[in-house]
């Protein structure tokens, strides 16, 4: 695999349909790569031999599953910086916000075996209602169902939940620049986020940092949700120090529309959960997003998750109540609801859930 072959595979993957050599040459040209059709045909033959592409009659070549896997795992040097570019592109394309509550949001996706769907909805019922989710809504797509958003493999169900990068898009549309710097594990004790225990830079990674940490089974989202203590996934971002009030205003306006999660704001020149900000910036820590998917994996019902998987119109997401009604037996719905009430009962000032609610949009 060389850079040219990687570029051709990337074009075929992005197109999602067979392409001929002339079409590939045209698309590569727009990216600043000038190759003749003859050269492209040569490399397509090599890709065929490697099993990364296959001929689809007169329509041209299409990428195979092996080709997609090679894109994800091979030629690492070309993928360094890819994650930051994807964040920036998705942030620009998402338009969900105070002035467009029916706009596009970014989804994380987890695949669940069909026979474990009820168990997955049970986990969602707890986590989506907790402060560790950006929204109490999700989309469920079964294998064979037509959906322009997600396609589930045979025997599997795709569950899409809101990605915290949706927040970047909302702030950008409000004129607030935001930079995603680090992803890591946040230690939570008695409902209070204390510090980052480990971090990975987005700029130097070829895979989303939180996806790496989730796959390594280092987080304990269910422990944090159910008992108040554990390691959860969080991301560190920065915004201009003069824009904090504007950013909080955006979040306040979005709260009635189901946008939540825990967003912690730092102060100028001061560290936030152990991370010091760049001059002229303040830190912003988001505890939400991929924690939902990590909980599904931790519970043993998830069979693979992808961060920042796709864009979706917000109205296509269903509330957790609607999902429970659609996919759970009535008796199980009642049991889950009673368990939820027992966890959210606030009998004292230092209750776990009351502490978390007070942390939302708090300035450290």
- The pLDDT of residue 205 is above 80: no
Domain at 3-79: CATH architecture: Orthogonal Bundle (1.10)
- The pLDDT of residue 175 is above 80: yes
Tally DSSP H helices, then E strands, for the chain. Answer: 15, 12
- Domains of the chain, by residue range, sit at 3-79, 80-364
Contact, 21 vs 60, CB < 8 A?
A: yes
Binning pLDDT at 50, 70 and 90, where does residue 75 land?
A: low
The residues that bridge with 201 in the sheet, in sequence order, are 182
Q: What is the value of pTM for the model shown?
A: 0.74
CA angle at 75 for the pair 69 and 77, rounded to the nearest 5°? 135
- CB burial of 104-134 (b: ≥16 within 10 Å; e: otherwise) equals bbbbbbbbbeeebbebbbbbbbbbbbbbbbb
Residues listed for the chain: 364
Binning pLDDT at 50, 70 and 90, where does residue 70 land?
A: confident
251 three-state secondary structure: helix
CATH of domain 80-364: 3.30.70.1360
Dihedral sign computed on CA atoms, order 335, 339, 342, 344: negative
State the residue for tokens 């037996």: 329
CA distance 320 to 224: 20
State the residue for tokens 């700029």: 203
Span of 131-135, 198-202, 224-228, 344-348 with lowest mean pLDDT: 344-348
Strands of the chain (E only): list them.
Answer: 53-55, 61-63, 104-113, 137-142, 156-162, 179-189, 192-201, 230-240, 262-265, 281-287, 305-313, 318-319
Contact, 234 vs 285, CB < 8 A?
A: yes
- The pLDDT of residue 39 is above 60: yes
CA of 162: how far to CAs of 52, 187, 259, 310, 342, in Å? 32, 22, 9, 10, 26
Average pLDDT for 107-120: 94
CA distance 178 to 278: 12
Phi, then psi, of 186 in degrees rounded to 5: -110, 130
Average pLDDT for 102-126: 94
Give the pLDDT confidence score for residue 13 in this predicted structure.
87
Average pLDDT for 168-188: 95
The residues that bridge with 230 in the sheet, in sequence order, are 188
Average pLDDT for 3-11: 86
- The residues near 114 (Cβ < 8 Å, ≥ 6 apart) are 142, 143, 155, 156, 157
The two tokens of residue 30 are 């727009």
Give the pLDDT confidence score for residue 26 in this predicted structure.
87
Percent of the chain with pLDDT over 70: 87
Average pLDDT for 5-9: 88
CA 221 to chain centre: 15
Binning pLDDT at 50, 70 and 90, where does residue 241 land?
A: very high
Give the pLDDT confidence score for residue 342 in this predicted structure.
43
CA distance 214 to 104: 25
Contact, 138 vs 159, CB < 8 A?
A: yes
* Tens of pLDDT, residues 53-66: 999 888 899 999 88
Give the pLDDT confidence score for residue 347 in this predicted structure.
37
- Burial of 226 (C-beta count, 10 Å sphere; 0-12/13-18/19+): middle
CA distance 256 to 314: 14
- The pLDDT of residue 89 is above 90: no
- The pLDDT of residue 128 is above 90: yes
Work out the mean pLDDT of the chain and round it to a whole number. 86
Separation of first and last alpha carbons in the chain = 48
Contact, 55 vs 13, CB < 8 A?
A: no
């Amino acid at each position: 695999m060389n850079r040219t072959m990687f570029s051709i595979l990337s074009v075929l993957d992005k197109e999602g349909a067979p392409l001929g050599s002339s079409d590939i040459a045209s698309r590569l040209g727009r990216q600043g790569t000038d190759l003749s059709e003859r050269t492209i045909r040569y490399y397509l033959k090599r890709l065929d031999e490697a099993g990364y592409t296959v001929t689809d009659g007169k329509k041209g070549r299409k990428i195979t599953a092996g080709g997609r896997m090679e894109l994800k795992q091979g030629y690492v040097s070309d993928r360094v910086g890819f994650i930051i570019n994807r964040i920036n592109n998705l942030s620009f394309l998402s338009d969900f916000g105070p002035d467009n509550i029916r706009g596009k949001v970014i989804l994380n996706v987890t695949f669940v075996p069909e026979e474990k769907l009820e168990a997955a909805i049970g986990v969602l019922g707890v986590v989506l209602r907790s402060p560790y989710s950006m929204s109490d809504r999700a989309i469920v797509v079964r294998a064979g169902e037509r959906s322009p958003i997600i396609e589930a493999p045979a025997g599997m169900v795709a569950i899409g939940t809101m990605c915290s990068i949706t927040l970047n898009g909302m702030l950008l549309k409000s004129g607030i620049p935001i930079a995603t710097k680090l992803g890591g594990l946040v230690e939570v004790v008695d409902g209070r986020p204390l510090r980052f225990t480990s971090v990975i830079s987005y700029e130097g990674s070829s895979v989303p940092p939180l996806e790496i940490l989730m796959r390594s089974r280092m987080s304990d989202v269910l422990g944090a949700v159910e008992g108040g203590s554990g390691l959860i996934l969080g991301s560190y971002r920065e915004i201009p120090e003069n824009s904090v009030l504007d950013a909080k205003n955006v979040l306040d306006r979005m709260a009635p529309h189901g946008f939540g999660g825990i967003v912690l704001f730092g102060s100028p020149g001061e560290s936030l959960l152990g991370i010091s900000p760049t001059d002229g910036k303040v830190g912003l820590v988001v505890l939400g997003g991929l924690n939902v998917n990590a909980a599904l994996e931790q519970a043993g019902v998830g069979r693979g998750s992808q961060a920042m998987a796709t864009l979706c119109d917000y109205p296509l997401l269903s509330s957790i109540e609607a999902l429970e009604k659609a996919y759970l037996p009535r008796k199980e719905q009642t049991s889950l609801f009673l368990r939820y009430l027992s966890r959210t009962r606030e009998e004292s000032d230092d209750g776990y859930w009351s502490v978390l609610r007070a942390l939302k949009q708090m300035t450290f």
